[in-house]
């Protein structure tokens, strides 16, 4: 099972929007509505930001939103804030053989 493909980095100024893509195959992203997104600050554990493609856990700001089209999922951060600077990883369910595959990770820089 190959890792999902994400851009290495994206950047934006405070208040702007950025979108991170996560490209897989019909065996993972495209085959299930089970994409989740995680935020990771340096030296910290990943934190769940989005689950089931577009749902936000309690406590996650509504500036974070998720979507999916075909084999590509996306995370959009609207109204970018300094504390959003972190690494972001997508994850998809990939079937019973190896259930989970992660993305390669994207560094978000707030200019």
Partner 1 sequence: QVQLQQSGPGLVKPSQTLSLTCAISGDSVSSNSAAWNWIRQSPSRGLEWLGRTYYRSKWYNDYAVSVKSRITINPDTSKNQFSLQLNSVTPEDTAVYYCARVEGSSSWFKNWFDPWGQGTLVTVSS
Q: Compute the least distance from the CB of residue 99 to partner 1, in Å.
A: 7
Q: Give the up-direction half-sphere exposure of residue 98: CA atoms within 13 A in the CB hemisphere.
A: 8
- As given in the structure block, the two tokens for residue 111 are 């200019």
Q: In angstroms, rounded to a whole number, what is the distance separating the alpha carbons of residues 39 and 69?
A: 21
Q: In angstroms, rounded to a whole number, what is the distance separating the alpha carbons of residues 80 and 72?
A: 22
Binder of partner 1 out of 46, 77, 80, 110 (CB under 8 A) = 46
| Site size with partner 1, rule: CB under 8 A | 26
Our finding on whether 66 is near partner 1 (CB under 8 A) is no
Residues that bind partner 1 in the complex, under the rule CB under 8 A: 1, 3, 32, 34, 36, 38, 44-48, 51-52, 57, 89, 91, 93, 97-105
């Amino acid at each position: 099972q190959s890792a999902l493909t994400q851009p290495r980095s994206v950047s934006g100024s405070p208040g702007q929007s950025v979108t991170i893509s996560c490209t897989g195959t019909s065996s993972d992203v495209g085959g299930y509505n089970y994409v989740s997104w995680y935020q990771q600050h340096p030296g910290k554990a990943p934190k769940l930001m989005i689950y089931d493609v577009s749902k936000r856990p309690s406590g996650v700001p509504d500036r974070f939103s998720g979507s999916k089209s075909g084999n590509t999922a996306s995370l959009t951060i609207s109204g970018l804030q300094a504390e959003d600077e972190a690494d972001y990883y997508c994850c998809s369910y990939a079937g019973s053989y190896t259930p989970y595959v992660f993305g390669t990770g994207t560094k978000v820089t707030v200019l």
